[in-house]
Structure 1
Amino acid sequence: MNFKHKYIFLFPGLFVLIGILIFPIIFTIRLSLSGWNSYTPEMNFIGITNYIRLFTDDPRFWESFFRLSFLSVTTVILQYIIGFALALIVWREIKFKRFFRVIFLIPMMTTPVIMTVIWRTFFHESLGPVNDLLGNLGVEPILWLSDPVIAKFTVIIVEVWQWTPFMFLLLLAGLLSLPKEPFLAAAIDGASSFRKFVYVTFPLMAPISIGAIIIRLIEASKIMDTVFVLTSGGPGTATETSSFYIYIKGLREFQMGYAATLSFTYLVIMIISLTIIAKVLTKLMIKE
């Protein structure tokens, strides 16, 4: 076969890439330069008017972005800590190890929307079992979904419970792939379990940890279903994230051109932010 003919086999994948990635981005950019909304059905060109509006007259988007940053970073940190702890427990020789592996993965196997509805029932402030249990312990009912501050932590609780198993799965796979020689050398030197973790396990797990954190940050930056079902962005805008705000502008207010502007700006910000975070984590966790 001629060497040039081999490139023919790249065309199907290239067409798929163009169809699901490149074309939507180009179309979003074109849409962001238009005033397309429910009153202007045609995609009229208005230049950078939407971008000027975003950077000069829309503090709500930036508030939702910083709120999202807090929620995503907090949830991923907690997921990493808890997931790593669970992975270390199952990694060691304990009884019913396979049983615990399955139990820890159950939250991730459940549909997020269904589980969020269940959590909303749990956290119902007058009929929910959580406040009933706290009342039996003499604790006043907590406004899980009505207090602007507490509602953020309610979202964090649900996200951590739902996606810690994913972090657990990645980290457990990493632990099972580690070489045994460094641990044998540490045992011969008489290193304690804590020193083995600090000087052997954690450094060896650094590349896998960085990958797991970045993957979860990418997913956490798109928090939408949990907020939509649990709080609908409330109370007020206390739990409104960037994705939810873009949904409001695009599919509730039908400002499709402006929603495209928000989406593309958000995409650029997240690419830059995640690149910086990846480099910082690499410098902190991987020692040359």
Structure 2
Amino acid sequence: MSSAARRDLGTWGRYSRWVNKHRKWVFAAPAMIFIALLLIFPLVWTLYLSFTNSKGSVRAPFDFIGFENYVKVLTDTERFWPAVGRTVYFTGGALLFEVILGIAIALMLWKPFRGEKLVRVAILLPLVATPVAIGMMWRLIFEPNIGFANEMLSWLGIPAQPWLSSPDTALSTLIFVDVWQWTPMVTLIILAGLTALPEEPDEAARVDGANWWQRLWYVTLPLLAPTIIAAVILRGIDALKTFDILYATKGKGGGSFHEVETLNTYAYGLSFDYNRYGQASTVLILFFLMIIGLIWILSLRKKALNK
């Protein structure tokens, strides 16, 4: 064997040993690079566009204008800040009811009972349909004239309600729709946390004479707190970026009076209705910072509970 061939074999051997030593990173690298590009490029491009006056067409020339878009958006009390308020209201209201109902349903499903599997399947049915289909279904149910909701109220002697057609009730009605669809997700997370809890603390409290409510409040819920925080983080992020149900039920602009317009629908309208890409990118970056801030706060809370 020639000296050149021996050198090539030695180089290949060192390379093979290095690959074998770091194989978990080598095999994962292509997927990690792809995901990084998939996330980083749109985020960087959106950030760049937020500092420009891009509008009209994606091919139209645009100029760098610094923080002008941010000043314009942050001083917009007609559309931006009301959209922020609706986003917070929708997310907070949906989370509150979904966590409370999710915990309650999970506690009912915690212990085995007859027909348990059938009940669990029935609870998960709202998660099967797509959000757009759910939105269209509830739009028909809440239709003021022929909808089943007002028909049912008439049986009880209650006057018909505007539901989705009134600016005063539209967003609250959509919170109800979101709670109906996504409470099962919270229930699954809480139920998984309940099944992983140790039995000894509850048995000790039972021996000490604690009743069911005392065991729940002082034993079960404190042990379950990290799981609840995880459910709030996962569902909170999803609720913040809700778009399908809002658009399917109220259309462009969140309705005629922008009654259900959140930051997502506002940014969508700026991009695809008015073609103001720079301003829309600014709204999305500010929205992204809000989500990061929420995750950071909840993560700190979860770490404090785990200590």
Superposition pairs for residues 51-62 of structure 1, below 5 Å?
51-57=70-76, 59-62=78-81
**1:252 counterpart residue number:** 273
**1:26 counterpart residue number:** 44
- List runs of 5+ in structure 2 lacking aligned partners: 1-16
The AA in structure 2 aligned to 1:261 is: T
Q: Does the CA contact (< 8 Å) of 2:229 and 2:298 recur in 1?
A: no
Higher deviation after alignment, 230-239 or 246-255: 230-239
2: CA distance between counterparts of 1:9 and 1:158? 43
Q: Does the CA contact (< 8 Å) of 1:83 and 1:165 recur in 2?
A: yes
**2:185 counterpart residue number:** 166
Aligned length: 286
The structure with the largest alpha-carbon Rg is 2
Q: Does the CA contact (< 8 Å) of 1:222 and 1:243 recur in 2?
A: yes
Higher deviation after alignment, 62-71 or 269-278: 269-278
Q: What is the CA distance between 1:44 and its match in structure 2?
A: 2.9
Q: Does the CA contact (< 8 Å) of 1:175 and 1:205 recur in 2?
A: yes
Superposition pairs for residues 1-288 of structure 1, below 5 Å?
1-2=17-18, 6=22, 8-38=26-56, 41-57=60-76, 59-232=78-251, 233-280=254-301, 286=305
2: CA distance between counterparts of 1:58 and 1:231? 22
- Deviating above 4 A after TM superposition, structure 1's stretches of 4 or more consecutive aligned residues are 280-283
- List runs of 5+ in structure 1 lacking aligned partners: none
1: CA distance between counterparts of 2:302 and 2:153? 39
RMSD of aligned alpha carbons: 2.0
Higher deviation after alignment, 193-202 or 2-11: 2-11
- TM-score under structure 1 normalisation? 0.93
Q: Does the CA contact (< 8 Å) of 1:38 and 1:254 recur in 2?
A: yes
2: CA distance between counterparts of 1:186 and 1:207? 21
2: CA distance between counterparts of 1:205 and 1:235? 43
Higher deviation after alignment, 274-283 or 140-149: 274-283
2: CA distance between counterparts of 1:260 and 1:5? 43
Q: Percent identity?
A: 33
The AA in structure 2 aligned to 1:255 is: R
2: CA distance between counterparts of 1:57 and 1:171? 40
Q: What is the CA distance between 1:256 and its match in structure 2?
A: 1.0
The AA in structure 2 aligned to 1:234 is: G
1:248-284 deviation per Cα after TM superposition (whole angstroms, max 9, x unaligned): 000111111111111111111221133224435765x
Q: What is the CA distance between 1:18 and its match in structure 2?
A: 2.4
- TM-score under structure 2 normalisation? 0.87
